[in-house]
Amino acid sequence: MNTPSIGSLLGSVNPDRLRDWYRAAFDVEPNQDGFLEFGGVAVLIDGHDDVAPVNPEPGRVIINFHVDDARAAVTRLNYLGVSWLVAVEQRDDGLFGTLIDPDGNYVQIIQLSESYFTSRTRKEAAMFQHGQPFSGFAVNDIPTAKQFYGETLGLHVSEEHGMLQIQIAAGTSILVYPKPDHTPATYTILNFPVADIEQAVAELGRRGVSFERYDGMETDEQGIARGEGPAIAWFKDPAGNILSVLEAE
């Protein structure tokens, strides 16, 4: 199901008066369907004979208008002679004020402060500060992967809950998880920088690693490609995932 759009209906025994009030108060004109559009929210003011002339419970639903300049909005609204329930005042998160439309509905004017947005940004960023980020990839057989990464490549590998944690340089870990119908990616998922690529390729070869050769990519007899970037050689793990060693500059 697609996310539905949001609109609002204000029923009134005198819709023309109420519509004219919102048009004047917020400088907006009805669209071709008769809706007043406020920041992507469409409001239809329509005649209803099942509502009271004055809203008996105005606090149940409050219409909020977020504005860039609350003081300018107040000047405009006061010029129109609106009735204020609560005059615009400074609160912790910005300027807030509540006025009353002709049908007795509460309408709130809000100008959020810069400190509010700064605080919200910090809170959103803080959710990622409770641990070290890590990446992961799938294999079709965990025991085989554990042997390859731990014994063949000589990395520190631990197993927990049927998954592997591979510890690599600078304390970074990689999660390896099982996926029986795993299909390897066609790109390199993990690169290992090395000081001497020829020595690294020779050592991996002695450990039984075979290096890949790709059409359009010229490689030497060891399988090392040398071009504009660092020298690199590709190989695969038992699940078919593409790895590489590349010479650190």
Mean pLDDT over residues 93-118, rounded?
Answer: 92
| Domain map (residue ranges) of the chain | 7-126, 135-247
Determine phi and psi for 47, rounding to 5 degrees.
-75, 135
Question: Does the structure show a pLDDT above 90 at 217?
Answer: no
Is residue 145 within 8 Å of 240, Cβ to Cβ?
no
Same fold, 7-126 and 135-247: yes
Residue indicated by tokens 């995932």: 241
108 strand-pairing partners: 64, 98
Question: Does the structure show a pLDDT above 90 at 131?
Answer: no
Determine phi and psi for 216, rounding to 5 degrees.
85, 0
**Domain 7-126 coded CATH 3.10.180.10:** yes
CATH top-level class for 135-247? alpha beta
For position 172, what pLDDT does the model report?
A: 81
Percentages helix, strand, coil for the chain (3-state, rounded to 5) are 25, 35, 40
Question: Model confidence over 167-196: pLDDT tens digits?
Answer: 987 678 899 999 999 999 999 999 999 999
Is residue 46 within 8 Å of 103, Cβ to Cβ?
no
pTM of the model: 0.52
Burial of 112 (0-12, 13-18, 19+ CB in 10 A): middle
